[in-house]
């Protein structure tokens, strides 16, 4: 038989230990895997490769199309990008699947409630695009990018996951009540696509209420689809319901490539101590086997893990504490010894092949588009009235008119009586009548010269578009 090629990235910290445990169990099933060793993360950063992912690893993944990866270290607050995020984005693994299921032998405050859900998280857009700028020395900006195509891909994936796992409902969790354009795009896409899946109940929920409900009544959820940062947060929350990150596997799914990894980090202080729970990594390997349509082998390992947890003879420190715990290798040996056993009341779910959606189409093309003006963002250590007066002077002789000035989203000029604690970052909304994009562009250079002549320092500009007579920008708090 031809072996299935899989790129194997041991990772950093505890990664090599939990990956070795997973590989041992997969090999023991008899599924023929050709493991292609590769590296990413800390060892690569130390070589001076800023992405944390060398070209040899990129080439290996491009050949095998499937990756089993240990956790990678990421510099916090400085320096290089996350190698984890780099891998997801390089290979357009647009969907992050994080299942959460009550486990036998792992007591939690939610034991007996039947928690069994999966978070389907958009994986490459949102704030995780990582586009940040210092707008002023004291104000940073991160762009939240949400695309129509990205929304459609993740929504369709959520419904396909529900069908593949025999689930009957999907919740779409957003903050569309506040971010009506970005988060609202996911909500609108979900509501448009849901009727194509009449066999699945579709519901929208505000993300903060979703977090509340996950703690109050988690058993009501089966599939939750959400944006990138929201999904990162609520999937970690969800894992705590069933025992913690030691039991949290994940899959990064794209149209052509899939990367499987535990949700937890590299935990360097425990590296080499043979004390870490490998369950999250093992169950990630189970997800990989199902992706490869090796359903019998996946069920064999999953049932053996459940049986080992249920009998309670070989449990790790995160379940029973240090005094009674066994190590990573001993736990793995116990799982291997339980091959062929099934736990009572916790059988592996029946799965069918996942149909990863392919969403065609190019850019969204409106029937009509217009431009009503500009938002000019400026830096100034002045009062709102002083900024407003300077902008009034700056637009003199142009076709622009100052409508308002806001500070951190709240309108402060013309004065409203609001007691806003202003910083040195101001949005100045300039309207032009009639709305003419060519005229706006022609006036721009003169406008910016006159802004600078007033002593204001501009840092960026946003157009105020209209698409099909709908406003393509939001209003400030207090703006009419």
Backbone angles phi, psi at 391, to 5 degrees: -70, -35
In terms of Cα–Cα distance, which of 72, 280, 117 is closest to 213?
117
How many H helices and E strands in the chain? Answer: 14, 18
Paired with 406 in beta bridges are: 411, 427
CA distance 457 to 444: 15
In 12-53, where do the E strands start and end?
A: 33-37
**What Å distances lie between residue 437 and 83, 404, 464, 467, CA to CA?**
41, 20, 10, 13
CA distance 269 to 390: 56
Backbone angles phi, psi at 49, to 5 degrees: -90, 110
Annotated catalytic residues are: 128, 175, 208, 232
Residues whose CB is less than 8 angstroms from the CB of residue 435 and which lie 6 or more positions away in sequence, other chains included: 370, 371, 372, 373, 466
Q: Are strands 169-174 and 223-226 parallel, antiparallel or unpaired?
A: parallel
- DSSP label at 246? G
In terms of Cα–Cα distance, which of 312, 318, 390 is closest to 344?
312
- DSSP label at 98? E
CA distance 153 to 156: 5
Alpha helices in 165-278 (DSSP H): 182-193, 207-216, 228-240
In terms of Cα–Cα distance, which of 10, 14, 18 is closest to 44?
10
Paired with 430 in beta bridges are: 374, 402
CA distance 250 to 161: 13
Give the alpha-carbon dihedral of 425, 429, 430, 434, to 10 degrees. 160
Unique residue bearing structure tokens 């900024």? 387
CA distance 314 to 310: 10
End-to-end Cα separation, the chain, in angstroms: 69
- DSSP label at 382? S
Residue 395 in tokens? 């637009």
Please return the burial class of 360, using the count of CB atoms within 10 Å of its CB with bins 0-12, 13-18 and 19+.
exposed
């Amino acid at each position: 038989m031809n072996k299935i090629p899989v790129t194997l990235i041991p990772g950093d910290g505890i990664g090599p230990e939990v990956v070795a445990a997973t590989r041992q169990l997969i090999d023991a099933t008899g599924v023929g895997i050709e493991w292609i060793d590769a590296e990413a993360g800390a060892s690569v950063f130390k070589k001076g490769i800023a992405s944390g992912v060398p070209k040899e690893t990129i080439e290996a993944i491009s050949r095998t199309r499937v990756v089993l990866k240990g956790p990678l270290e990421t510099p916090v607050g400085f320096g290089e990008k996350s190698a984890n995020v780099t891998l997801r984005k390089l290979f357009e693994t647009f969907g992050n699947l994080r299942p959460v299921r009550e486990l036998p032998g792992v007591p939690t405050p939610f034991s007996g409630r039947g928690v069994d859900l999966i978070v389907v998280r958009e994986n490459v857009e949102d704030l995780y695009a990582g586009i940040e700028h210092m707008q002023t020395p004291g104000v940073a900006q991160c762009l939240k990018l949400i695309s129509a195509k990205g929304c459609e891909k993740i929504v369709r994936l959520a419904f396909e996951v529900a069908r593949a796992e025999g689930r009957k409902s999907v919740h779409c969790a957003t903050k569309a009540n506040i971010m009506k354009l970005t988060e609202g795009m996911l909500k609108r896409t979900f509501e448009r696509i849901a009727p194509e899946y009449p066999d699945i109940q579709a519901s929208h929920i505000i993300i903060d209420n979703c977090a509340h409900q996950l703690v109050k009544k988690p058993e009501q959820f089966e599939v939750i689809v959400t944006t990138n940062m929201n999904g990162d947060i609520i999937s970690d929350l969800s894992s705590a319901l069933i025992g913690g990150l030691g039991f949290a596997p994940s899959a990064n799914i794209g149209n052509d490539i899939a990367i499987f990894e535990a949700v937890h980090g590299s935990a360097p202080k425990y590296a080499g101590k043979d004390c870490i729970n490998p369950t999250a990594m093992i169950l990630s390997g189970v997800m990989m086997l199902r992706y490869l349509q090796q359903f019998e082998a996946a069920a064999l390992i999953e049932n053996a893990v459940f049986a080992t947890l249920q009998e309670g003879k070989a449990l790790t420190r995160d379940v029973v504490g240090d005094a009674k715990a066994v190590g990573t290798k001993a736990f793995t040996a116990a799982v291997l010894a339980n091959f062929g056993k099934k736990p009572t009341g916790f059988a592996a779910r029946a799965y069918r092949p996942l149909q990863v959606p392919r969403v065609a189409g190019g850019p969204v093309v409106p029937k009509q588009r217009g431009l009503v003006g500009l938002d000019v963002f400026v830096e100034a250590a002045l009062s709102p009235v002083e900024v407003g007066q300077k902008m009034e002077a700056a637009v003199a002789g142009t076709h622009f008119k100052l409508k308002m000035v806001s500070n951190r989203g709240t309108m402060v000029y013309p004065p409203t009586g609001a007691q806003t604690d202003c910083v040195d970052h101001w949005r100045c909304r300039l309207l032009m009548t009639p709305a003419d994009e060519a005229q706006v562009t022609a006036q721009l250079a003169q406008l910016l010269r006159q802004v600078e002549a007033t002593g204001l320092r501009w840092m960026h500009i946003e157009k105020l578009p209209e698409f099909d007579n709908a406003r393509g920008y939001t209003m400030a708090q207090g703006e009419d």
